[in-house]
Chain A
Amino acid sequence: MRDANAIPIESIDGPVETPWTLPYRGTVGMACLILAEAAIFVIFVVAYIFYLGKSVSGPTPREVLELPIFGTICLLSSSITVHFAVSALRQGKLRNCSLHLAGTVLLGLIFLITTAQEWYHLIHDEGLTIQTNLFGSTYYSLVGLHATHVVVGLLMLSLVLGFSLFGLVKEEHSEKLEVLSLYWHFVDGVWVVVFLVVYVLGR
C-alpha cells in the first residue's frame, strides 16, 4: 500500500533509483489490533464450543435460540455500504460518502436493536441469564463482546459521519477512513463466525 506521505529522499551518495515505499502505518497498526482482538474472540469461541452440552441444568441452545437472519443481513450489508463510503471518498464524492456512512451506521444500529430484542426475549421469556448455566455464561459473553465491538465501531463511524456532514472529511482522508472500515469488516467477520458457531453448529 502506498504511503501517501512518501517523499523521495536524496541519498548521500546519489539520486534515488527506485521509490522507497513502505505500507501505510495506519493499516499496519489496524492489522495488529485486529490480530489481537481476533485472539480474544478465539478464546471466547473456544470456551463456547468447549462447554456445549456441558450445562448441568437450564435451557439449551436448541430450545431457545432462533436464527437472527434479519440482523445478520443488516450487519453484513453494512460492510458493503462502508466499502462504498471509502471508494466514494477516494473519488472525492463527499456527499456520496456521507450517505453511505449514514447507511452503515443505520444498519449497525438495526443490528444492535435486533440483538437487544433477542436478549429481552431470552431473559424475560426463557429465563436465560449469564448466571443460569454454562450456556448462558458463554452465550452472553461471546455475543456481548461482539456487540461491544459493534458499539465502538458505530461510535467511530458516527464521529466520522458527523465530521463529514460539516464538510471536514476530504479526499486526502480516504486512507484513514479505509483503516476504520477495516475494523468494521473485522467486526462483521467475527459475526459470521459467531453466527455459525452459536446459531448453526451449536444448536
Chain B
Amino acid sequence: MSTTQAVEESDETLALQQGRPPLNVVYEWLTTVDHKKIGLMYIAYALVFLLVAGVEALLMRIQLAIPNNHFVSPQVFNQLFTMHGTTMIFFVGMPILFGFGNYLVPLMIGARDMAFPRLNAFSFWISAFAGILLYFSYVGASGLYAAGSAPDVGWFAYAPLTARVFSPGHSTDYWTLAIFLSGIGSIGTALNIVTTIVSMRCKSMKMSRMPLLVWLYLVMAALVFVAVSPLTAAQIMLTLDRYLGAHFFDTQAGGSAVLWMHFFWIFGHPEVYVLVLPAFAFVNEIVPVFSRKAIFGYPAMVAASVGIGFISLSVWAHHMFTVGMDAAANTFFVFATMVISVPTGIKIFNWLATIWGGKVIFATPMIFCVGFLFQFLIAGLTGIMLSAAPFDWQLGNSYFVVAHFHYVLVGGILFALFAAFYYWYPKITGRMMSEKLGKWHFWLFLIGFHLTFDFMHVPGLLGMPRRIYTYEAGRGWGALNFLVGVGAIFQAAGLLCFLYNMIRSYYHGKEASHDPWDAWTLEWSTTSPPPDYNFATVPTVNSRRPLWDLKHPEDPDSDYE
C-alpha cells in the first residue's frame, strides 16, 4: 500500500487532471480505451435507458389501470411493450452488467486493463449506436406522436408476424438491426472478458484464487458466445426473408414458425442467465463483507455457477410448452428446467450459511442484498411452478409469467445492481453515498416492487394473458391492475431518490478511503478512485482474500486453502 501512495504522490499526471477545458474532457471520454471509463460509459448509458424504458412501463400501467381505457391507442401500446422489453434486456441489462464487469474484473485480478482495450471501446460504441438506432425508430414514418416506426412485434418477434406481409414498413427492421449490432458489441465485450480472465491475471492468482465475481463473469461471457450467436443467425434469416424473399419462416412456402421460436429461445433462455450470473457475482462479493465472514463453500459456488451455465443451454423449450410438442420433448424440458434448480438452490444455501454465524451489518449494500435473497428465492420457486408443463399450459403467456420474470429481473437482478452501486460507488468516485437516502430508496422501491409484482401474479391466475392493451370489465382484473400501477409510481420515486443520491454524493458525499467497507479483494488495495494504471505495483496474492491475509497475518486464508 505504501508503495502505491509514494508512486501517486510523484505521479504528476494526476495533478494535470484538475481544471481542464471541457472540450478536452469530452474528447478524452470519446476516445478512451481505459476499461474504467468505458465501464462507466456503459453504466451511464444503461441508466438513461432505464429511465426511458421505465417511462414506457408507466405509460402501459396507466393504460391498464382501468378496463377499456383510452390513454394510448392499441398500436402505441403494442409498440410500448415491445420497446420496453427490448430496451430493458439489450440496452439496460446487458450494458450495465458489461459496465460493471469492465470496471471491476481487471481490478480484481490485478491487471492494468482489459486484454483488448480498443476492441473494448469499439464494442461500447457499437452497442451505444444500436440503442440510438432503435430509438430513432420513434421518429420514423408517422412521427413521434404516433410512435413512428417503433417495433410492435413483441421483444421476441415471433414469426410469421415479423414477415413482410404482416409487418410492412420498417418497424421490424429497426428491431432486427439494433439488436444485431448490439449483439456484435456483446460478443466483443464477452471475448474481452474471457481473454482478460484467462490471460491477464496477476502473478500467483491461480483460477482457484479468483474472486467469485470473476468466475461468474467468466461463465457469463462464455454463455454469451453460445447464446447471442443463435439470435444473430435467426435475425440474418429473418432479414433474408424480408428483403431477399427467402422462406425460412414463411409458412406459406413450408417454412416453420416454430423454428423461429426454437432459435429465439435457444438464445433467450441462456440470455437471462447471462443477466442473472453477474447479479449472483455482486451478491457473492457483498454478503461476505457485510457478514464479516468468508463465503461459505467457494468450490461448490464455482461448480454451481459453471453447472448453471451448462444446464441453461438445455432448457429453452420451457418457453414453448404450449406449442404442441410431443410428450417426450415436453418431459425432457421439464426435467432440465427442474434440474437447474439444484445448483441454484446450492447458491442460496451457501449465502445463508455465509450469513449464519457472522456479524451482519445492515449498510445499504447489504439491505439490497437481503431483498435480493428473499425475492430471488420466490422468483425461483414460481419458476419451478412454471416448469411443470401442465401448470405452464394454464399460466404460460399470462401475467403470472410476467410477474415471475419481473420478480427475477427487478426483485433479483436490479436489487443486486443497486447493492453493487452502493458498494462500489466509493471506489469509483472516492465519495460515500448517503446512507439515509439509501434507506429511503430501499423502502420506497421495496414497497413499490411488492405492490406491483406480488399482485401481478393474481390476474395471471385469473386468466389475464399478456400483451393486451386493454381488457373487459367484469373479468375481475381491474382492481388488481390498478394496484399494480400504484406500485409502479413508488418504484419510480425510489429510483429518483437513487439518482439524486448518486449525483449529490458525487459533490457532497463524505470522502472515501481506499477501503471504506473493510473488504478483502484487490480493488480495495488501490486508491479511490483508482489511478489510470490501476496499481502502482502489480500485486501478488496467496489466497482468495489477499487483503484479509494482510490484515490478519496471524490467521491468513492461505492456511486453509
A positions within 8 Å CB-CB of B: 3, 9, 11-13, 16, 20, 22-25, 28-29, 32-33, 35-37, 39-44, 47, 50-51, 54-56, 130-131, 133-134, 136-138, 140-141, 145
Contact = CB atoms under 8 A, between A and B. Distances in A.
A32 B203 contact: no
Contacts of A33: 187, 191
Contacts of B237: 44, 47, 141
Contacts of A141: 236-237, 240, 246, 248
A49 to B, nearest CB: 11
15 contacts: A22-B199, A24-B199, A28-B199, A37-B229, A39-B225, A39-B230, A43-B234, A47-B263, A55-B254, A56-B253, A130-B246, A133-B253, A133-B254, A137-B248, A141-B237
A137 B190 contact: no
Contact of A47 (B190, B194, B259): B259
Contacts of A36: 187, 191, 224-226, 228-229
Contacts of A140: 246
Nearest to A138: B248
Contact of A131 (B198, B201, B234, B244): B244
Nearest to A140: B246
Query: What 9 A-B pairs have minimum CB-CB distances, sorted nearest first?
Result: A39-B229, A131-B245, A43-B233, A137-B246, A25-B199, A36-B225, A20-B203, A11-B540, A32-B191
A56 B254 CA distance: 6
B256 interface: yes
A9 B110 CA distance: 13
Contacts of B229: 36-37, 39-40, 43
A50 B256 contact: yes
Contacts of B259: 47, 50
B523 to A, nearest CB: 18
Most buried by A among B190, B198, B230: B198
B301 interface: no
Given A32-B190, A35-B222, A43-B229, 13 more contacts: A9-B538, A12-B539, A16-B203, A23-B198, A28-B195, A29-B192, A32-B195, A32-B221, A36-B228, A39-B225, A134-B248, A136-B247, A141-B246
Contacts of A56: 253-254
Nearest to B193: A32
B226 A35 contact: yes
A3 B540 CA distance: 18
B478 interface: no
Contacts of A40: 229-230, 232-233
Contacts of B226: 35-36, 39
Interface in B196-239: 196, 198-201, 203-204, 221-222, 224-226, 228-230, 232-234, 236-237
A134 B191 CA distance: 34
Nearest to A44: B233
Interface of A is mostly: helix
Nearest to B247: A137
A42 to B, nearest CB: 8
Contacts of B228: 36
Interface of B: 115-116, 187, 190-192, 194-196, 198-201, 203-204, 221-222, 224-226, 228-230, 232-234, 236-237, 240-241, 244-248, 253-256, 259, 263, 266, 537-540
A39 B187 CA distance: 12
A24 B229 CA distance: 25
Nearest to A43: B233
Contacts of B266: 43
Contacts of A28: 115, 194-195, 198-199
A12 B203 CA distance: 11
A66 B540 CA distance: 61
A36 B190 CA distance: 10
B350 to A, nearest CB: 29
Contacts of A16: 203
A25 B233 contact: no
A139 B106 CA distance: 44
Given A25-B115, A141-B237, A134 B195 contact: no
Given A39-B230, A43-B229, A137 B203 contact: no
Contacts of B246: 130-131, 136-137, 140-141
Contacts of A35: 222, 225-226
A145 B235 CA distance: 13
A14 to B, nearest CB: 10
Nearest to B231: A43
B187 A22 contact: no
Contacts of A32: 190-191, 194-195, 221, 225
Contact of A130 (B192, B204, B222, B240): B240
Most buried by A among B196, B201, B204, B221: B204
Contacts of B200: 22, 25
Nearest to A144: B240
A22 B232 CA distance: 32
A3 B187 contact: no
A36 B540 CA distance: 33
A40 B495 CA distance: 38
Given A32-B191, A40-B229, A141-B240, A11 B256 contact: no
B254 A12 contact: no
Nearest to A24: B199
A193 to B, nearest CB: 15
Contact of B204 (A11, A25, A134): A11
Contact of A54 (B241, B254, B539): B254
Most buried by A among B116, B194, B224, B538: B194
Contacts of B537: 12
A9 B236 CA distance: 48
Contacts of B190: 32
A32 B540 CA distance: 27
A179 B204 CA distance: 26
A67 to B, nearest CB: 25
A36 B248 CA distance: 22
